[in-house]
Amino acid sequence: MGAIGRGYLSVWWDGPTGTLTWRASAPIAGSGRGGVLRKGERGGDSPLPGSLDPTDLISCILGTPAEGSTRSTLLDNQGRVIEMRFPKSEVVSFQPGEGVPRRIEANGPEGRAVLSLEAYSAWPVGEEVPPS
C-alpha cells in the first residue's frame, strides 16, 4: 500500500502547438510541481504513474486516443473512450463526460492515480464546453 493523498491537477491544453502544461499540488506526484508535455516528443515529467511517453499522457489526460495510435482503446456504445491499455501494463480507465472525462483512473507498475473533474463555481454563461 502506498501513500494516499488528495490534491489537484490543473492542465492547460494548446491544441495548435500540441502542448499540455500541467501543475500539481503537493499530495499528487510527490510534491508541488509541474511540467510540459508535447506531442511527438520523448521524456518529460509525468503527473501519472508509469512511463508513458508525452503523446500517450496527453491522450490519457484529454481522454482521446492519439491519431494512428497502436494502443488498445475500449469504447462504450456511444463511441466514447472508457479504457486505454499501454505496453508496460499501464491501464487508464475513464468516466466519459461532456468535453473531457469526468474521472480518470490510471494504474501502472509505479502506482495508481485517480483524478476527478471538479469545479469551484458554475461554468461561465455563454462559454462553450471544449470539444472532446
For residues 119-128, one letter each, b for 16 or more C-beta atoms within 10 angstroms of the residue's C-beta and e for the rest, the string is eeeeeeeeee
The pLDDT assigned to 132 comes to: 36
Q: In the structure grid, which three cell numbers stand for residue 13, read together?
A: 491544453
Q: What span, in angstroms and rounded, lies between the C-alpha atoms of 104 and 100? A: 10
Neighbours of 130 (CB within 10 A): 11
Q: What span, in angstroms and rounded, lies between the C-alpha atoms of 77 and 19? A: 30
pLDDT in tens, 88-132: 788 889 988 777 778 888 887 777 888 887 766 666 777 765 553
Q: Give the predicted TM-score (pTM) of the model.
A: 0.71
